[in-house]
Amino acid sequence: MDTKYWGPSGWRLLHLITFTYEPSNKAVAALFQSLPFVLPCKFCRASLHQYMEEDPLEPALVSQAALSKWLYRIHCQVNAKLRDQHLLKDEDPPFASVKRVYEERIASGCIRTEFEGWEFLFSIAENHPHCLAAKKSTPMNCPPNPPADASDGMKNQWNVLSPGDRMKYYKMFWNSLGESLPFKEWRAAWLCSTLDTGSRAAIIRTLWLKRRCMEDDLQLVNRDTFQGLCKALKEHRSGCGKKKRAKTCRKPR
């Protein structure tokens, strides 16, 4: 999936989660632990795994301040990669500016506002581990004879993790998402229906039902139709799963 479609949406949701994080909420740890395995771009999955090895999540889970600064550092790493590819010109804002933006967003409340993250979440749904595009996604930087005892993390970086193994993290992501949402009203509304992760069609359909329920309950302003959503997902498929030399999933122009 084209990162320009789901990336900004994902960052907004993830930053909101970190700025409202409470260390007692174990779901947030599970959400971020699963993230490198579910991003809808194999290059992004590999990069995030590397960044999280260099800057581990666990020490950041001690406080809201630590976690929000950790995600800021990860975001800056991603931006540096994009600048190296001449896909981004802007410099990173200071953390204080980012903090101010999200504190103002949190203060604005969660009713009759936007739900940040739909493009991100539906792109993950679209990239279901058992869908044909995911199964045909080619390995990258993989040794000719990868060791049988390689960790899931290494297999993820090589893009050779089996659909069955990736499903463990896919379910972990969706199971932890609801309890990780930044507002208690969003967390309550998320419970209005059940997600079915059994197939791409099932997760998209049941996530859509959840979206409609939340739109009505919370009077959300960023609404869409199911036809509009499906059209957007189709238009932003990048075909990067078969690419070997690219570094970021972008739809050819």
Query: Nearest Cα to 21, choosing from 56, 54, 70?
Result: 70
pLDDT in tens, 66-89: 999 999 999 999 999 999 988 999
pLDDT in tens, 182-215: 999 999 999 999 999 999 999 999 999 999 999 9
pLDDT at 244 over 60: no
pLDDT at 247: 53
The tokens for 223 are: 């609404």
Report the C-alpha gap between 252 and 86 in whole angstroms: 16
pLDDT at 252: 52
Report the C-alpha gap between 186 and 190 in whole angstroms: 6
Query: Nearest Cα to 88, choosing from 97, 76, 79?
Result: 79
Residue that the structure tokens 């409202």 belong to? 20
Average pLDDT of span 160-165: 95
DSSP labels, 72-115: HHHHHHHHHHHHHTTS--SPPPPHHHHHHHHHHHHHT-SSSS--
